[in-house]
Amino acid sequence: MNEHGKVNFETSCNMEAQSRFTHGLGMLHHMMYDQANEIFNEALEADPDCAMAYWGVAMTQLNPLWAPPNEKTFEKGYDAIRKGLETGNLTEKELDYINALNAYYATMEESGFREGLKAWERALENVHKKYPDDIDAGAFYCLSLLATAPRDDETFSQQEKAGALLEAFFERSPEHPGLFHYTIHAYDNPVLADKGVTFAHGYDKLAPNVPHALHMPSHIFVRIGEWDETIDWNRRSADAALKQPVGNMTSMHHAHALDYMMYAYLQQGRDKHAREVLDELNTTKNYQPGVAAYNITAAQARYPLERRQWEKAAKLPLRVHSEFPWDDYPEFEAITWWARGLGAARSGNRETAREAVKRLKNLHEMTLQKGENYWALLVDVQRKTVEAWILQEEGKYEDALAMMQKAADQEDTVDKHPVTPSAVLPARELLGDMLLLQEKPDEALAAYGKTLDVSPNRFNSLYGAGMAANMAGNSELAKDYFTSLHSITVPEESPRAELKQVTSILAGN
């Protein structure tokens, strides 16, 4: 086994191109798309008639779990798959693989990204059925199942189906990178996370220097609230990513890892370390466009919001990393405006909060125009959240609760995206905060409890649940929550007043 895992796909290409293709396929399964693209192009230099290398280039332009391609990326991929189809001397299996990917491109051109993914899934199901012993066919079929899984399915049945199929292949190919990687994605949800622990612990041994492979285990550790593990894996991932730039750009895997790491530090109350991570993110130059757009904006917002520094959140700077193409990412720029609006509303600055509501309405419309319905739903949740806290500040308590309830219910209809460790602040946790302020402890306790079901070991939900239990007169339950909070934090490293209060309560003071 090399340092990328083991894949075995025989092509009709010459020996040098076959070697490069095998390497590229491994990196493709690791979702190191830019590196894989470079390697597939090296295969084409070795053999210009290597049809599967064209397929590989086209696959690197399809990031099924991340985001739709832009026009340039789409055309690059579609052009490659057309060239693959024009190549002579294809084997039957090669043609089946290429036709399956062509189904995605042809359908997307006519009907958009989501329909393209569904066409790809249907085609890959046929390829998998035709070649049931082909591990790559099975792995890519499972990836397509994950890409097309309904985001509002609270049973995660399609993810469970993919996970079961992937696990069935493990006995025959325990070193295959796609099996590890996609199984972790399949179990990256609150229902199935425990099934992913074994795979999370094994992935680094397969690919000890691949940034995304070093990051992926934390998708499981975040789901079960294991903060030390989340920090350790993402430190390794970020360091590896810095050593593997994409041309003259910093890999987006660096920003992705830092956001996850910072989130974990904040849950431990280790704010100094979180600040250091944020500083690293902000001083790193020239990030590669893509999912880094989310991680850059989310990290800026997390730092004040998780610490309940509302006035600082209200003054959050716009468009950090000014060189970044922010006009392409209204759905992520919305995070900054939401943080500003929420911070302003919760610190009594209604004018700034109302300005944020206006901006969020505009950004919601722009996100819809992009066809990003998932993110548009969340931008609408953000707008409702700010409006709810404006109403709370105005003393319209029933209206505030009704709006906050709508926001929480709406956010609960979808699971978190793989790009993020968690909602920046869960809407249901904010509902708990509002209920606690309105002295409705039983309802607040239920809201915090539901948040913890989805995002275990969140600092603010554990603290809020303990305070709600105390207010409700249930000191034993309060003690349980406070003990849990104390166990995940590092009190001697935390400046937070909440933790000092909890420590005092547990000491009987």
Residue ranges covered by each domain of the chain? 7-153, 289-425, 427-509
**pLDDT per position as a tens digit, 388-398:** 999 999 999 99
Tell me, letter by letter, the H, E, C secondary structure of 361-425: HHHHHHHHHCCCHHHHHHHHHHHHHHHHHHHHHCCCHHHHHHHHHHHHHHHCCCCCCCCCCCCCC
Name residues whose C-beta falls within 8 Å of residue 104's C-beta, 6 or more positions apart in sequence: 62, 116, 117, 119, 120, 123
For domain 7-153, the question of CATH label 1.25.40 is answered with: yes
Cα–Cα distance, 216 to 211 (Å, whole number): 9
Distance CA 100, CA 52 (A): 12
Same topology, domains 7-153 and 427-509? Answer is yes
Q: How many CA atoms lie within 13 A of 455 on its CB side?
A: 24
pLDDT of residue 344: 99
pLDDT for the residue numbered 491: 87
How crowded is the C-beta side of 265, counted as CA atoms within 13 Å?
Answer: 26
The token duo for 222 is 């975040």
pLDDT score of 154: 87
Which residues in the chain show pLDDT less than 50? Answer: 1
**Is-contact 128 169, C-beta < 8 A?**
no
pLDDT in tens, 5-63: 899 999 999 999 999 999 999 999 999 999 999 999 999 999 999 999 999 999 999 99
Mean pLDDT of the chain: 96
**Confidence at residue 205, expressed as pLDDT on a 0 to 100 scale:** 84
Q: Which has the closest alpha carbon to 345: 381, 306, 387?
A: 387
Give the phi and the psi of residue 2 in degrees, each rounded to 5: -85, -170
What is the pTM assigned to this prediction?
A: 0.93
Q: What count of other Cβ atoms lies within 10 Å of the Cβ of residue 487?
A: 9
Q: Distance between CA 361 and CA 408 in Å, rounded?
A: 18
Topology (CATH level 3) of domain 427-509: 1.25.40
How far, CA to CA in Å, does 251 sit from each of 278, 288, 385? 16, 6, 33
pLDDT of res. 1: 42
Q: What is the DSSP string of 167-211?
A: HHHHTT-TT-HHHHHHHHHHT-STTTGGGGHHHHHHHHHH-TT-H
Q: What is the 3-state secondary structure of 52-121? A: HHHHHHHHHCCCCCCCCCCHHHHHHHHHHHHHHHHCCCCCHHHHHHHHHHHHHHHHHHHHCHHHHHHHHH
